[in-house]
Amino acid sequence: MIEKQLFKTIKEFFPDANANANANDWQTVLDQCNVGISVFHLFNTAQYYVAYYSKNSSINLSIILYRKNQAIGVMPLIVHQDEGQGWVLSSNGVDIIEPIFIQKLTRKVKKKFEKQLYDLIIELSKKLKIKQCQFTNMDYFQLSSWYLIWVNRATNIFPTHHLLVDLSLSLDEIRLKFRTSSKTLINKAIREFIVEVHNHPSEKLFEEFRLLHKEVANRVTRPLDSWKIQKKQIDLAECFMITVRNKSNVMIGSGLFTYSSYQGMYSVAAFKREFFDKPIGHAMQMRAIESLKQKGCSWYEIGQKHLKVDKIKPTDKELSISHFKEGFSTRTVARQHLIVNMDS
């Protein structure tokens, strides 16, 4: 019932929109953009998050924007229920990111569509009784017009810090910026283990990784459909897999890395507990950097640089992982976030 109401609301603002965004039209927009396309702007990434939150009544509200029957923009948008919080409207389970548009769209038309999306999000929030939404700016180096629309309505602004590898540098230049101990451990891991990149892993190999993740976590952490979508992303050249095996050919670690034409991101990994003291992750990160550079990505976002002063206080484990990832980064950037009261 609520799903029909939400799609009806979207139709009121965007009559050309439909309940099932067309993957081909979505990709047509991405192919005509001149801005950096984040992994969160990929059609299948939105589907992944809907599957990830499927136990929480998730709904895919992502919109393809049309003008004169031509697809001119996309807006990744999902909604799910959070225990004790009610409904959450986002692009990735937490933040609402900016829409992106084809290059030839005029600034005036773009602003018109952004204002319509602004009004739509306010209306959807009213329908769902959402009191607050969180917005973020995905561009590493400038604030988007979308962000600036919402900043005047914000009740709180805070940064998070993110570790990047500049893939425009040569591999030698990138390695020079690694922490000294990281270089040593990379070389040690590549000597001791079999580290392979899989752009076309078999169903059997992918299932081996999923079961390793379940074994390490000691439980099923997310729905099977979310794994299936990640396998689909691999098949569509939006993701690749790295495996690490010992000399007995036992998988002791594996990871998935998602990428767009602009940006690569570390998605998920699992390592056998008895090998936690081995530099498996070091070899995996090196192979990921090599692969993303080969695929033509501009940046690799390794992860968040957690700080004790962060708005959400990090755990000791998060601080430790952050320290590890920092050993590979060539640059640290701040990403701005807004908290907006939707009922004001």
For residue 164, how many other CB atoms are within 10 A of its CB? 20
Place of tokens 């602009």: 262
Do the domains 163-335 and 2-152 match in fold? yes
Which of the 8 DSSP states describes residue 33? Answer: -
Query: Which sequence spans correspond to the domains of the chain?
Result: 2-152, 163-335
Contact 264, 288 (CB under 8 A): yes
Task: Render pLDDT for 139-193 as a digit per residue (tens, 0 to 9).
Answer: 999 999 999 999 999 999 999 999 999 999 999 999 999 999 999 999 999 999 9
Question: pTM for this structure?
Answer: 0.94
Residues in Cβ contact with 64 at an 8 Å cutoff, skipping those fewer than 6 apart: 17, 21, 22, 25, 26, 29, 71, 73, 74
- Tell me: pLDDT of 273 over 90: no
3-state SS class at 336: strand
Contact 77, 105 (CB under 8 A): no
- What pLDDT sits at residue 110? 96
How large is the angle between the packed helices 280-294 and 180-192, nearest 10 degrees? 90
CATH 3.60.70.12 fits 163-335, yes or no: no
Place of tokens 């607050």: 132
Task: Render pLDDT for 191-240 as a digit per residue (tens, 0 to 9).
Answer: 999 999 999 999 999 999 999 999 999 999 899 999 999 999 999 999 99
18 falls in which pLDDT band (50, 70, 90)?
confident
> pLDDT above 70 covers what percent of the chain?
99
Q: How far is Cα of residue 222 from the mean position of the Cα atoms in its chain?
A: 16
* Topology (CATH) of 2-152: Aminopeptidase (3.40.630)
- Tell me: pLDDT of 19 over 70: no
- What pLDDT sits at residue 277? 86
- Tell me: pLDDT of 8 over 80: yes
Cα separation of 182 and 42, whole Å?
32
Cα separation of 230 and 173, whole Å?
32
Please, what sign has the CA dihedral across residues 78, 141, 29, 122? positive
Contact 195, 283 (CB under 8 A): yes
